[in-house]
Structure 1
Amino acid sequence: MPDHAGTATRPVDATVARSWLLVNGMRAENFDTALTSAADQIVLDLEDALDTRDKPGARLDVAAWLETRSAWVRINDRTTPFWADDVDHLANLPGLRGVMLAKAEAAEQVTETFNRLGGRTPVLALVESAVGVEAAPAIAQARGTFRLAFGSGDYRRDTGAQADDLAMAYPRSRLVVASRIGHLPGPIDGPTVGDDHTILRERTTAASTMGMTGKLCLDTGQPAVINEMLSPTASDIAWARDFLTEFDARGRTIRDGSDRPRLAHVQKITELAAALGIGTE
């Protein structure tokens, strides 16, 4: 097991949030429970988790809860008749941190959502299809796009791909590259179904290796594992400190071509550790 330097003890900014817990919007009794979980961010779900006939009632429950507490909300995709009502009911709610736009396939869908919400609410674009993956660079650069996420289950249904890491390598890489092009934080990987934490660790590690920095999750037992796997380890932080100490001792002089990549890696480790509030003792 990696020697990760613990987890944050305060709310984690959405730009570096690792675990994103999806909560069925019909189950209002679980909203408060989700807040007490280890998840960096929670997402109340008005889309895939609900039957069509349940969406209006769930929307009202979510809106009422957001009057006094805060969360993200996954809304229905732009091509459905539910999108407009979702956006209109959520706009200006004090607890709305942002929306996750389901099945994003075009930059215009993100910008329309952003504008209709008043031009202030961040939109997390959930890319879930072959069309969305190919449009990812444009989506990442759209006005209002805050971060990209991978809807791996729907992507597999759309393409016939399997869940193994090789099959998922292309869409993951595409979202990572698109995020870099759009100057966005690293993208959020799709969820791992099941309660096997060994598999969850393996899938999280694979996503991290590709450059993804967050992961969707489906139950309250997963966030702690995801947070551990996506945090700098104690040895990472120690290495970064040692490198900076040695670099300062030689007058911050670049010796060879390996120093600049190492400095970039050190900066990434130290900035993420600071943002997560870990390794500061």
Structure 2
Amino acid sequence: MIVRPRRSALYLPASNARAIEKARRLPCDVVILDLEDAVAPEAKVAARAQAVAAVRDGGFGARELVVRVNGLGTPWGADDLDALAAVRPDAVLVSKVDGADDVAAYRGQVVDGVALWAMVETARSVLRLEAIASAPGLGALVLGTNDLAKEMRARLDTERTAFGGMLAMTVAAARAFGLVVLDGVHNAIDDADGLARQCAQGAALGFDGKTLIHPSQIAACNAAYSPAADEVAWARRIVDAFDGQEGVGVIRVDGRMVERLHLGEARALLDVVAMLDARDEPTQPSPRA
């Protein structure tokens, strides 16, 4: 499994050519071209053509390119998937997934070599997290807190008071089955303090990153989800300590017992740091440092 940074995942309407062009220069880790919520029905076909052209033309560099398609139950979903099969984005993100059967239906329509990501944004999806996360062929869970709040009739405050358990359970389901997991968006674009609090909350819960709705949110998100300086130093000590210790399962590092599972985690973290360094982007210490 390739470990890559997914700290910031920016949604863009696939109908907005100017935004797509700008995204090729933005410091986000993931670009999500949206064919679903952000596009009006009368613009769906044109937006699909624009998304296909963007994937085909490339130019996004190290950014992961994902397309969120319309559901198979809509007039546009099947055509979205057919059109994307020819250009092969890094991943296809699907919405309103209620269970393993939905995952299987989409997996059958997404070509091999293209990752399948699923939104967790319905009450049923929360109740079936294990079944969804364990479904064959799934690569990531993406939390959709706006749709979830609407369906639950819950208040979506900055602290996500009504969603604490669901946030943790989504992370647990993803980790249990080796999936990437991204937090939901923060709606208030000008609320820098609220964004910072949500990023810190998501990072503490174990999310890999956060979905965003505006480029101004990228820097704070990248900072919150970048490996902290003390985490990087600890990972290097673990890797150094295990060097030349083949066949040894547990060693002592700085007075702490460290197992080989921690070695794997340390190497994965250092791989992420190396990828960030390769982009010539200074790795900003996380507020968790």
TM-score range, shorter chain: 0.7 to 0.9
- Structure 2 distance, partners of 1:122, 1:190, is 19
Identity across matched positions, percent: 28
CA drift at 1:216 = 0.3
Q: Select which of 182, 185, 191 maps to 2:185.
A: 191
| Residue aligning to 2:286 | none
**2:22 aligns with one of 33, 57, 63:** 33
CA contact (8 A) 1:19 1:214 kept: yes
TM-score of the two chains, using structure 1 as the length reference: 0.84
Distance 1:66 1:243, change over 3 A: closer
Deviations 1:89-128 (A, max 9, x none): 111215x111110121122222222222223311110110
1:232 aligned counterpart, secondary structure: coil
Residue of 217, 242, 247 corresponding to 1:222: 217
Amino acid at match of 1:128: E
Q: TM-score, normalised by structure 2?
A: 0.82
Deviation at 1:229, TM superposition (A): 0.7
Counterpart in 1 of 2:150? Answer: 157
Number of the residue aligned with 1:176: 171
Q: Distance in 2 between matches of 1:234 and 1:129?
A: 37
Separation in 1 of the partners of 2:86 and 2:150?
35
Greater shift in the superposed pair: 58-67 or 142-151: 58-67
Answering whether residue 145 of structure 2 is matched by residue 147 of structure 1, we say no
Distance 2:250 2:242 in 1: 7
**1:25–1:58: 8 Å Cα contact kept in structure 2?**
yes
Match of 1:91 among 85, 88, 110: 85
Q: Which one-letter code corresponds to 2:46 in the other structure?
A: G
Distance 2:122 2:56 in 1: 33
Shift of 1:243: 5.5
By how many angstroms is 1:188 displaced? Answer: 0.3
**SS in structure 2 opposite 1:116?**
coil
1:21 aligned residue (10, 13, 25): 10
Q: How big is the shift at 1:37?
A: 0.5
From 193, 196, 201, give the equivalent of 2:196: 201
Q: How does 1:1-281 map to 2 (within 5 A)?
A: 15-69=4-58, 71-94=65-88, 96-163=89-156, 164-185=159-180, 187-193=181-187, 194-242=189-237, 254=251, 259-260=257-258, 264=261, 267-277=264-274, 278=276
Name the Cα RMSD after superposition. Answer: 2.8
Identify unmatched segments of 5+ residues in structure 2: 283-289
Structure 1 residue ranges without an equivalent (≥5): 1-12
| Structure 2 match to 1:3 | none
Paired amino acid for 2:272? A
Q: Secondary structure at the match of 1:21?
A: strand
- Residue 67 of structure 1: SS of its match in structure 2? helix
> Is the Cα contact below 8 Å between 1:169 and 1:210 reproduced in 2?
no
| Cα distance change on mapping 1:125 and 1:279 into 2, 3 Å | same
Report the 3-state secondary structure (helix = DSSP H, G, I; strand = E; otherwise coil) of the residue aligned with 1:76: coil
Deviation at 1:64, TM superposition (A): 2.0
